[in-house]
Amino acid sequence: MDTPDGGVLAVETSGDPSGRPVFLLHGTPGSRVGPAPRSAVLARMRVRLISFDRPGYGDSTRLPGRRVRNAADDVATIADALGLDRFAVVGRSGGGPHALACAALLPDRVVRAATQVCLAPRDADGLDWFAGMTPSNERAFRQAELGQPRIAGPFQVRSQVIRRDPAQLIRNLVPELTPPDRTVVADIGIRRMLQSTYRQAFRYGADGWIDDVLAFIADWGFAVDAIRIPVRIWHGADDKFSPVGHSAWLADHIPAAQLYLEPGAAHFGSLKEMTDAIRWAASS
């Protein structure tokens, strides 16, 4: 789909074409073909799931200087093209802040928003942002705070390796995975879904990945306490990639938010919980 700024967004829909529309915003890194319930499951739920490559990922053109708030513009553009007036949004991991952008900036269109293992704003008052975070994630974010040149080269090199062998990213993560996450990614079906989304994400390079990381540590362009619609926040208690304190902070600052903290689950536990998040989002 064409965007007003002259770009292109790659969009995919699945499930029931006449079902309740739910936008699924993918993780970081990720793409529109990322983990999601099978189309038959969505059809039984009477859900029309809509996903897209964020600018710079896969087949979507890059938007220089992209901010978290820009996701609301992209979702509105897609919804208009599909003839959708009202809809729900679900964001997993790096998709979470973008789902919150839609909730804050499209209050007359978004009926419900759900996040899974979401980050809080970098300037979140009273939150020790890096507390409990894996060393690799902390290192990447701290380098990003020094400017795009510090991460652009390394991220492009990593994306080339992952594009040739998508399983490499999972192997790189294994040393930092908690036992619950190791159990999840050991599932061959989930590994295949993750490899598929990484392959699509880096089809033309690492621009989307770079821009996501820069957007997370910059001003998001909206205040989460301005969100007035129902928000469901899920987090695995053992998550080290997006520390659980982030979701706890969000739950304290979003007026209509409910926090679901799952003991014995971690970051990738969100993949098994996604169907419940989508079902809740579509139940308004």
Query: Tens of pLDDT along 81-113?
Result: 999 999 999 999 999 999 999 999 999 999 999
In this structure, what CATH number is given to the domain that contains residue 274? Answer: 3.40.50.1820
Q: Give 29's pLDDT tier (boundaries 50, 70, 90).
A: very high
Any domain includes 19: yes
Kindly tell me the burial class for residue 205, based on how many C-beta atoms sit within 10 Å of its own C-beta (0-12, 13-18, 19 or more).
middle
Domain range for 69: 11-282
Convert the pLDDT of each residue in 104-158 to its tens digit.
999 999 999 999 999 999 999 999 999 999 999 999 999 999 989 889 999 999 9
Strands 47-52 and 87-92: unpaired
pLDDT of residue 134: 96
> For residue 2, is it within any domain?
no
4 lies in some domain = no
Q: What is the pLDDT of residue 156?
A: 95
Q: What is the pLDDT of residues 161-206, one digit of tens each?
A: 998 898 888 888 888 999 999 999 999 999 999 999 999 999 999 9
- Residue 132 is assigned to a structural domain of this protein: yes
User: Cβ distance 257 to 229 under 8 Å?
Assistant: no
Q: Is residue 5 part of a domain?
A: no
Asked whether residue 3 is assigned to any structural domain, the reply reads no
pLDDT of res. 170: 86
Domains in the chain, number: 1
Instruction: Determine the pLDDT at residue 229.
Output: 98
- How far is it, in rounded angstroms, from Cα 270 to Cα 61? 28
Task: Please answer whether residues 91 and 118 qualify as being in contact, where contact means their C-beta atoms are separated by less than 8 angstroms.
Answer: yes
Instruction: Provide the whole-model pTM.
Output: 0.97
Instruction: Classify residue 6: in a domain, yes or no.
Output: no
pLDDT of residue 187: 92
Q: Mean per-residue pLDDT for 210-238?
A: 98
pLDDT tens digits for range 46-74? 999 999 999 999 999 999 999 999 999 99
What pLDDT is recorded for position 60? 98
Output the six-digit token pair for 134.
């894996």
Q: Please report the pLDDT score of residue 284 as a whole number.
A: 76
Structure letter (DSSP) for residue 28: S
Confidence of residue 250 (pLDDT cuts 50, 70, 90): very high
Residue 130 is assigned to a structural domain of this protein: yes
